[in-house]
Chains A and B, each alone.
Chain A
Amino acid sequence: MNATLLIAAHEWRRLRAQPFAWTLAAVVLAFMAWQFLLALQAFVDLAPKLGGLKDAPGVTDLVAIPLLRSLSNLLLPLVPLVTMRAFAGERRAATLPLLLASGVGNLRIVLGKFVGAFGYVLVLVALVAVMPLALAAGTTLDLGKIAAALLGLALFAAALTGIGLVCSAWASQPALAAAAAFALSALLAVVDAGARLQGVSNSGINYLALPTHLEPFFRGIVASVDIVYFVLVAAVALALATRRLDTLRGSAD
């Protein structure tokens, strides 16, 4: 096993040993299950009227996609809570030297932390996805559209994890890291709100916004420009986190 996967597996082991990760997962799943049941009830109530419409939206559009869109909103505060301890927690507990003195390069350490946190978020996304996918037992789902939405969510989560990690590397306190990551992610989520109000949807500022690139996935459109955007955000964040580790090696803590 290489060092990146070793560190990622260790992060998993540590998460598994903490009540925090279990509590967070329980809260997220309970909240999403509640949303799912509400959406399903609304769909069941609406179904007789939909039957008379031509090209009426199905359960995928009215239950599955809204649920996954709702999860994307929840990821904005959730991911920073998962990533906040990655480096800030290690610094606070004075455990970072264990990794720094291991001879494993800074990039591998950052990638290990990334894979660990991202893996945990992906499991949550997968568990939430099981809810609408369970409907396949009784109805026909647009699996292609759901797959596109899940791919978008995964890429979105990767970008948020990267942002969370770089904030954790820069902040000295986990709470500060979480607050900074949430603020930065939220800023990227609403950065083009003003432009949209003006009716501008195709400018540079729109390109910077996270929803601009996430929304097409929810419509079943997988475009390379959107994939590249999320990969770029994550890559830049991880590069900055690696740079920060270089600096931390030289600092007093």
Chain B
Amino acid sequence: MRSLSVYVFTESPRMALHVSSPAVELASIFNERPGLIVPFEKKTEIDDLLKKKGWSEIVLLKGIKSDLSYDYAYALSQLMKEITPKILMIPATKEGKEIASITAALLNAIYASEVVKIFIENGSLKFIRPVLGGGILATYKVASKNLIIATYKPYLYPPAADTSYEPQIIEYEVKYEKPKEISNIVRIDKKPLEKTVDLKSADRIVAVGRGLAKKEDLNMIFELAKLLKAEVGCSRVISEDYGWLPVERQVGLSGVIVSPKLYIAVGISGQIQHVIGFKNSRIVVSINKDKDAPIHKYADYVIIDDLYKIVPALINKLKQNQ
């Protein structure tokens, strides 16, 4: 193995594509290419597309005893002690974040959650991450030589450009023992999540917020979305506080970050943590009767009117045009 400065770990190899470009950029600071670490059991998922992303080496980690977060974390911390990189990057899925946090705790590493950038300034490593509900970026200066474990929100970056560089594929076996109390965690059941929607890949999104008076009125939002061939999204209050829609429809810092061609915000006030979630949209429309609602500042087309008048009018027009 090459003991590189920057490695990416993911238990789900295809996620590596989504962090490949920040990984290549970060490794270039050290005049290197990044390394990629995946469980040996996922070997078959390493396809040509992934191989071409400029990895110096791909490490197939052997000896992971189960797919529980603790097993990945113990295996990974064993490997980190041996190859001592500067930075370990992990895609910030739910699984990834848990593995990252436990590994960082085991290694007394510096944990940098959902960073947007890592760089060197005046000889010091620094990282930037959104805080205080988003819209505010905190710059941290690293004051320790310990390993940095940084998670990156996936789907924000296009995959790295293809290269003809052929990564070395290495099998590496670790041995670890989990303490007794940890090894007594057992999985009783695991079933695939029936996802009703994938907002990340939607071309058009109609998102609804606090302005909606009652759950039944979602029908009209879904009708509008259907006519526009759009998906329905929502702000945090609708999913987390009211429980009217599942959290996979929640757009924002604590939900999904989306980048559709068209984003229509219906009855959404425009809290910054929500705005962060749709800021990469091409065209944004705001519908809110409150002229002072912050959402209007983030829109290309601003409608200061009652959603209960505008949405039916839009539905009507779209039906006429069919």
Genuine A/B complex: no
